[in-house]
Chains A and B, each alone.
Chain A
Amino acid sequence: MSAKVLIVDDSKVVRDLHGFMLERGGYEVQDAINGSEALEKAMTTQFDLIVTDVNMPQMDGYELTRRLRATAGYENTPIIIVSTESEARDKTRGFEAGANVYVVKPARPNNLVANAKMLLGAISVGT
């Protein structure tokens, strides 16, 4: 059984590309267009990894990360933030919210999959 990954981004092309990268890495992928939709999906499916953008309507990636950390079952789930914002303060904000890894866009396939493998090492059975 492959590990389940939830990709959260308001850009369809980004969702498609991150999905393509991670599916080729052996993961089962679902997506959401903002933090609110991601939270709803996370309530019905237990994901093993969350890959989220920051700037999204309704609920941004920092808020999503904070809420997931306060949700039963997601206290320790790996979260990767993938954002265009590259300043140290942005990364600090991401880590303070509870993210494990902060990747600056554009995410390169090897980088995103390598981070997923690193974070899911212990449970990655589909790769």
Chain B
Amino acid sequence: MLNSKENLILQLGSADETTRRFAAEDLGDCGDETAVEPLVGALSDPSPAVREAALDALTRIGGEAVVLAVLPALRSENVPLRNVACCLLGQLGQTAVAHLSPLLADGDKDVRLLAIDTLANIGSCSAEAAIIRALNETDVNIAAAAAAALGEIGAQSAVGPLIATLKSDGWVRCAAAKSLGQIGGPEALRTLAGLVEDQDPMVAYIAEKALAEASDEDNVRYGTLLEGTRS
């Protein structure tokens, strides 16, 4: 059969770019999990159009089989593959969360960082507890990524842990301040108001920006809080 699934998988290895691209697109239409591994291989194709088609096909197939097949790419030395894997896992959403959360305890700090960033893109509250634990990482970049991720998720329950991290490194404090602005609410905004004149100019700058970017409703509340602070 000319366009059997097996034939389409073979066509992914064709020397012709257009053939490979169409094969990836058609495999996505099949929605068959046996196409997942070959399509993950096509994410490293030299042609951006083929990589794009493979990414789209894997997103359409979805499910746990795709998550499990693409997770090892987070450890790849191939930077574009690693980034496309993060993008794909982000698009797979909740299905990926259960497999990404354990990676926050991975021995490789780069994997921990990619997992946090991807969870932030998914924005799932179910990863919140693991990300809050990552605020205590000694690696500044990971702690800062965790602080930033909590802002993307936007849960009020992260406000206390974020305020607690304001005692740490300046970079982490900046990420925490920005996230407090994203989450909003009286406690977060009161804390930000106190940071506007922080002795670290970077923290003061981010706090001021975060307040300026808070929602109108929160800005009204912030104004009230400022008056309360001044009186």
Contact = CB atoms under 8 A, between A and B. Distances in A.
B206 A17 contact: yes
- Determine chain A's interface SS by DSSP, over half rule: helix
Interface stretch (A38-46, A50-58, A70-78, A118-126): A50-58
A116 to B, nearest CB: 16
A109 B86 contact: no
Interface string A60-80: 101100000000000000000
23 contacts: A12-B178, A13-B144, A13-B148, A13-B175, A13-B206, A16-B178, A16-B205, A16-B209, A17-B174, A17-B205, A20-B202, A20-B205, A20-B206, A57-B83, A57-B86, A60-B79, A62-B79, A84-B110, A84-B113, A85-B110, A89-B77, A106-B141, A106-B144
A11 B114 CA distance: 13
B103 interface: no
Nearest to B140: A106
A106 B113 contact: no
Interface string B191-216: 00000000001100110010000000
Contacts, number: 53
B215 to A, nearest CB: 16
A109 B87 contact: no
Given A54-B79, A55-B82, A109 B202 contact: yes
B140 A13 contact: no
Interface in B97-131: 110, 113-114, 117
Nearest to A24: B201
Interface in B59-117: 77, 79-80, 82-83, 86-87, 110, 113-114, 117
Nearest to B114: A55
